[in-house]
Chains A and B, each alone.
Chain A
Amino acid sequence: MLQIFRRYLLMLIVRPLARLMFGLDVIGAENLPKDGPAIIAANHNSHVDTVVLLCLFPSRLLPKLRPVAAADHFDKGGFGSWFSRNIIGIIPIKRSGAERGEDVLAGAKEALARGEILVIFPEGSRGAPEEMTKFKGGVARLAESAPEAPIVPVYLQGAGRSLPKDAKLLVPFNTTAVVGKALYWRGDYRALVDELRAKIEALKAEAPPLRWK
């Protein structure tokens, strides 16, 4: 029931609104996975990023799309927590304060095992608008747990202008998502993270020029 509600909410309200507000231009849509399990890895500048990524997929895949999000931000209890978990469909991840020996990625690994599509932001935080920071290693550990899952690099541009970190006003600007060819787990954590970062940097060069200071 809730899944049907979520699907139609995203399809009939969120997607048309997002199209109107953010344009949702896509380059390389054919590189998006047709089914799970898969990992979508993108740069992160804004809460709008998640909306843009959810709107890239056909509504048939919506029940499988699971954004991986910081528990300290989105899972603080109350209505916000219910909304994030059930409507956005997040998998909460503890960024700090985990106990020794606790696998913070357990939830995400289970989702991959169920054949779901994870949406993750390897930077781990939004940071300054339209700038990319260091990638964290969690994406490689997830890839190791599901070596058959393609890791699809996506470069998102423009969302950091619409709603940067700490901003209170949402200002419409067009966003562009550049989707690259998938890469796979090959047995080396560092190499995977570096390759992913290089791929997203390369996609950035394909995006339309952004005159933003």
Chain B
Amino acid sequence: MRIEGNLLTCWSHGCGIDVHLPLMLGFAGVLALLLLGTLAALILPRAQPGKWSDLGPRMRSWWVIALLVGGALLAGWQAFTILMAVISFLALKEFLTLAPTRKEDRLIVLLAYLTIIVNYGLIFTDTLFQDSYNIYLVFTPVYAFLVMAATMAWIGRTDGFLSTVGIVHWGVVVCVYNIGYIAFLMRTPDAEAPAGAAGLVFFLLLITQLNDVAQYCWGKAIGRNKITPNVSPNKTWEGDRRLADDGRRVLFPRALLHPAFAGARGDHGAYRAAGRIFWRHYDERDQTRSWREGYIAPHPRPWRGARSAR
């Protein structure tokens, strides 16, 4: 093992992996949190039976998420992009399974799956041609939008045209286009990011996930008034206030983030993508929440929750 600047090089079996030191510390922190959580999942249900019954399954899914994402981050942008493409596919399939579709819409649904290949393919071609990022920006919102609507017209499906085109395109934007930005972040040149591209992705995922964890903990501890009882019953105003006022400002001061993103010099696509993601995430708390619900958190199937509540 060798440390140079903030770059940590691990040698094993003749091939080296470069890891930035801050990222390594981040991984260590996540590992510590996971171990702490696992311990809590063993102790708390015994101390207060019934109240913490969902902590065990939550810890299990966090372990799986951490191992998968951590492994992909270490393996490089190719592995991470493939992981995100698979996640997009699973998310879109879940979305289209629950959304109202008709048997005549199967072709359009198949086209929606094909956008995953183009969307993530454009991330792979980022260094091959300069406009890859610009094409990425418009491909789903403009071209997929038009092609899917045009295909509906070509095959003569005019009944329920708007509902099908609207639902399917909405699903593609949420499940494929938006998640794709996380993978695009991995293509930031190392010189542009203090902790490497993987560090940026790690940071994005960490604040998103910590938001969820803190909401869960504060909500359980002091939460009373639910923000959206019909949508996400564990989110409370108390948890949110506490999180916003103390946690985020102490943990992630804007001043620390600013130098990293405000000084955008290059015209590099991934670099601009980074700026977009972070400012959106940082400034609009509500959006952050819907982000988390839709993308990363392993929420149980909504209909299951509804049934057990009955």
Contacts and interface: CB of A to CB of B under 8 A. Distances in A.
Nearest to B108: A171
How many interface residues does chain A have, given as a range?
10 to 19
B93 A172 contact: yes
B113 A172 contact: yes
A161 B106 contact: yes
Contacts of A79: none
Contact of B102 (A20, A172, A174, A213): A213
Contact of A171 (B90, B106, B304): B106
Given A23-B93, A158-B97, A174-B94, A169 B106 contact: yes
Contacts of B96: 173
Contacts of A20: 86, 89-90
A208 B301 contact: yes
Contacts of A161: 101, 103, 106
Interface residues of B, number: 21
Nearest to B160: A213
B97 A23 contact: yes
Top 9 A-B pairs ranked by shortest CB distance? A211-B100, A174-B97, A208-B303, A213-B102, A171-B106, A173-B97, A171-B110, A171-B109, A172-B93
A5 interface: no
27 contacts: A20-B86, A20-B89, A23-B94, A25-B301, A158-B97, A161-B101, A161-B106, A167-B106, A169-B107, A169-B110, A171-B113, A172-B89, A172-B93, A172-B113, A173-B93, A173-B96, A173-B109, A174-B94, A208-B301, A208-B303, A209-B303, A211-B100, A212-B101, A212-B102, A212-B103, A213-B100, A213-B103
A192 to B, nearest CB: 30
B210 interface: no
Interface in B269-310: 301, 303-304
A211 B94 CA distance: 13
Nearest to B109: A171
Nearest to A163: B106
A174 B303 CA distance: 14
B99 interface: yes
* Most A CB within 10 A of own CB, among B94, B97, B303, B304: B97
A19 to B, nearest CB: 10
A158 B93 CA distance: 12
Nearest to B86: A20
Nearest to B103: A129
B300 to A, nearest CB: 11
A164 interface: yes
Residue of A164, A171, A211 with highest tally of chain B CB at under 10 A: A171
Most chain A CB within 10 A, of B93, B99, B109, B110, is at: B93
Interface in A1-50: 20, 23, 25
Nearest to A162: B106
A15 to B, nearest CB: 16
